[in-house]
Amino acid sequence: MKGPAFDVIDEVLLTFDAGRGTQKVKYRGELFPAAAAADPPGTLFRDFFQRDRDGNSKGISVIDLENFA
Amino acid sequence: MITNERQFQISKAQIAKFRAAIDAPDSNTRTLHPQAQKALREAAQSQLDDLLVEVADCERLRDGQLTAITVESIADLAPALIKARIMRNCTRKELADKLALAEQQVQRYEATQYKGVSVERLQAVADALKLRLREVITFELL
């Protein structure tokens, strides 16, 4: 099994209700799994958020939590 | 908010991708922790729901059934003007032509939610779209 330690993750971060409302109330932001397959040919969620509504590229900041100190 | 045909088509394409990802998850996700798989599925469903709402809102604006938009604050005026343009089936180019502006200027107005645009210009946009604004200002108790 790969992935984070779910026994210590705040359940709120794993709550994906309408508009991620629960996450936004507690953290003023929302979290998506970076490895999520948003697109079968291989585009990840991370790539989904790198396109604006018009399909143009846009920059995002990626924080590597494993090496974040 | 979806504001033009291109965005409408891109959103519909994204809906198809998210649906496919939910219906047939990538084989490498099966190696993940069950809770991770659940999070992936629910995150994708949540994003899919957002897209479905946006496309439905756009279709509702376009089908001509709405006849009025209610705004609760002056800040709501800009999105209302954008919605009104969509309800009128008026492209940015057509609105720009009516205002004797370049299409890019209308694109900027909408991208910035008409930020910094004068009241006179907002009225000109409303006139170009043949909108009648009926303001009701109520006084809160002091």
pLDDT at B98: 97
Q: How far is CA A66 from CA A46, A53, B21, in A?
A: 17, 31, 26
pLDDT at A32: 84
pLDDT at B27: 72
Computed over every residue of chain B, the mean pLDDT equals: 90
Per CB-CB distance under 8 Å, the chain A contacts of B33 are 1-4, 6
Best interface-test mutation with A: which of B26, B49, B51, B104 has the largest number of A CBs within 10 A?
Answer: B26
> With contact defined as beta carbons under 8 Å apart, do A50 and A58 qualify?
yes
SS (H, E, C) B51-107: HHHHHHHHHHHHCCCCCCCCCCCHHHHHHHHHHHHHHCCCCHHHHHHHCCCCHHHHH
Q: How far apart are CA B50 and CA A20, in angstroms?
A: 10
Give the number of other CB atoms < 10 A from CB of residue B2. Answer: 22
More confident residue, A4 or B122: B122
Q: Is the pLDDT of residue B111 over 70?
A: yes
pLDDT at A43: 60
pLDDT at A44: 59
Cα A12 from chain centroid (whole Å): 13
- The DSSP bridge partners found for residue B52 are none
Q: Among partner residues B3, B17, B50, which is closest to A19 by beta-carbon distance?
A: B50
Name which of B72, B62, B69, B73 is nearest B126 in CA terms.
Answer: B69
pLDDT at A41: 47
> With contact defined as beta carbons under 8 Å apart, do B36 and A4 qualify?
yes
pLDDT at B47: 92
Best interface-test mutation with A: which of B1, B27, B33, B112 has the largest number of A CBs within 10 A?
Answer: B33
Q: What is the pLDDT of residues B30-74, one digit of tens each?
A: 777 888 888 888 998 999 999 999 999 999 998 888 888 988 888
pLDDT, one tens digit for every residue, chain A (69 residues): 556 788 899 999 999 999 999 999 999 999 887 665 545 544 657 778 888 888 889 887 777 777 776
Is B20 an interface residue toward A (CB < 8 Å)? yes
